Amino acid sequence: MEVLWAPWRLDYILGPKPDECVFCVPNHTGEDAERYILCRGRHNYVIMNRYPYNNAHLMVTPYRHVSCLTDLTPEEAHENMDLLRSCVGILQKVFRPHGINAGLNLGEAAGSGIAAHIHFQIVPRWNGDASFMAVFSETRVMPEHLRSTYNRLKPHFDALA
């Protein structure tokens, strides 16, 4: 059996699970680096997925706790799309993926892990990436630690402001 090293998973496995929604973030920015928040807009923010499907897996979510796309105001929806576009551009520049999955799961039955707070997923993909590992051994390979990925992406998101 092959062993893959993923030490950041232990914090999730053994750590306390929050009672509150993980996407309802405080207004202050003091915890942004700890939470892997890359960018704050007026209505939405960009955050890295702590338990990613692939390296540099990002999410765009509104600050407001809503569960459906139709619940977004026009301003929230517009900014959300602008941030999605920015995420794709930054990922293409920094990581040069061969493709990107960008999507939204509305509701638990659709596959949303946190259905109560809408969040868009942006996942860079490379030809021959970890696909076979997930299919054959239910394992994902992460080539870079989350903190390193955050540090590579953060200056590009800072430049958006």
Question: Span 128-149, mean pLDDT?
Answer: 65
Question: Span 22-43, mean pLDDT?
Answer: 92
Class of the CATH domain delimited by 27-158: alpha beta
Query: Mean pLDDT for the chain?
Result: 85
Reference 91, options 117, 135, 124, 66; nearest CA is 124
pLDDT of 88 reads 98
Whether the CB-CB separation of 39 and 46 falls below 8 Å is answered with yes
pLDDT of 103 reads 92
| Residue 6 banded pLDDT, cuts 50, 70, 90 | low
**Could you confirm whether 119 is annotated as catalytic?**
yes
Structure tokens given for 8: 């950041």
| Residue 140 in this model has a pLDDT that exceeds 60 | no
SS in 3 state form for 16-77? CCCCCCCCCCCCCCCCHHHHCEEEECCCEEEEECCCCCCCCCEEEEECCCCCCHHHCCHHHH
Given the residues 43, 119, 145, 156, the one annotated as active site: 119
| Residue 100 in this model has a pLDDT that exceeds 90 | yes
Question: Span 124-140, mean pLDDT?
Answer: 63
Give the rounded distance of the alpha carbon of 126 from its chain centre: 17
End-to-end CA distance of the chain: 47
Other CB atoms within a 10 A radius of the CB of residue 91 amount to 22
Question: Span 4-32, mean pLDDT?
Answer: 74
| Residue 5 in this model has a pLDDT that exceeds 70 | no
Spatial separation of the C-alpha atoms in residues 64 and 71, rounded to whole Å = 10
Helix (H) or strand (E) holding 121: strand 120-125
| Residue 136 banded pLDDT, cuts 50, 70, 90 | very low
Question: Span 8-18, mean pLDDT?
Answer: 64
Reported pTM: 0.81
| Residue 131 in this model has a pLDDT that exceeds 60 | no
Residues linked to residue 120 through DSSP beta bridges, in sequence order: 60, 104
